Amino acid sequence: MRCALGGPPDHPGSVLTVSLCRPDIRNAQLPATWEALARIGDAVPDSVRVVVISGDGPSFSAGLDRSAFSGDGLLGQVATAPGAVGDALIAGYQRGFTWQADPRFVSIAAVRGHAVGAGFQLALACDLMLIADDARFRMAEVRYGLVPDLGGTHQLVRRIGAARALEVCGTGREVTAAEALSWGLAVRSVPADDLGDATDQLVAGFLAAPPEALRSISSLVAGAGSATVEQQLRAERVAQLSRLRDLLRGGISGPPGGPAGDSPPGPPGGPATG
């Protein structure tokens, strides 16, 4: 796995790129992959505003390395471990798939080619997916008598609903790029050769936003799915008051583009905060 900290000259250290780098076997994953992901998540600097996860070569990740299916491989080790030990092993692997939801930054999965099993779940762990038109997704675990155990069921239900999640996980069928886009799994689909440029443009859009406003928005969006309407409205009030007070302390200069900014005229009676 390759990990690099970078960003444009005006935002140094703002972009963390994480690349799966076993293209000869379509970036198949091992427990060491998940442990490395967890360590990366533990060490994300506060300067990071965007995380991009991708795979070298023509595939994002083909899922679990076939060596794990041997008797002395991963599956055998977990299956023969005492109950508490086996549970702890899987919990440790899951840590590599949870830190991407940290609201301090926006996480993007840039997906081309195959995203199977653990590869699909890694893409789902990110806040959003930008995909190539050749992307193909599959929860293949059921075909081996297993279940997705790296957060995939939670993420799928949250994004596409229980019925579609059951179909995808219960049949192990392929989900095309067109389906992923129409279902809302991906925010955009582009030609494979354009994926890098499209990712850079999306990153630039997030970097253009004021950092604290973006973090507040990330927190609001993350919590909206489990909140009642009143809880979410209260969270928006708290966040907006915090932002207004911070802006007042720093001197409110208005939106970009001059006094009127890029926004349409407000309603009669004065400006609104939203």
At 106-124, the pLDDT tens digits run 999 999 999 999 999 999 9
Cα separation, 22 vs 58, in Å, equals 11
CATH-assigned architecture of domain 2-207: Alpha-Beta Complex (3.90)
Q: How do residues 11-40 score in pLDDT, each as one tens digit?
A: 999 999 999 999 999 999 999 999 999 999
Read off the pTM. Answer: 0.90
Q: What string of DSSP letters covers 33-89?
A: HHHHHHHHHHT--TT--EEEEEESTT-SB--B-GGGGSTTSHHHHHHHS-HHHHHHH
pLDDT confidence of residue 68: 77
Report the amino acid identity of residue 210.
P
> pLDDT averaged over the chain?
92
Percent of the chain with pLDDT over 90: 83
Distance CA 193, CA 186 (A): 17
What's the 3-state SS for 123-141? Answer: HHHCCEEEEECCCEEECCH
CATH 3.90.226.10: which residues of the chain?
A: 2-207
**Residue ranges of the chain that CATH labels 1.10.12:** 211-250
Residues 6+ apart with CB under 8 A from 25: 62, 65
Classify each residue of 33-51 as buried b or exposed e, where b means 16 or more C-beta atoms within 10 Å of its C-beta. Answer: bbebbbebbeebeebbbbb
| 15-20 vs 2-6, strand pairing mode | antiparallel
Residue 72 CB-half CA count within 13 A = 0
Domain 211-250 listed as CATH 1.10.1200: no
Q: pLDDT band for position 51 (50/70/90)?
A: very high
Residue 266 CB contacts under 8 Å (≥ 6 apart), including other chains: 272
Closest CA to 58 of 139, 143, 133, 140: 133
pLDDT given for residue 274 in this prediction: 53
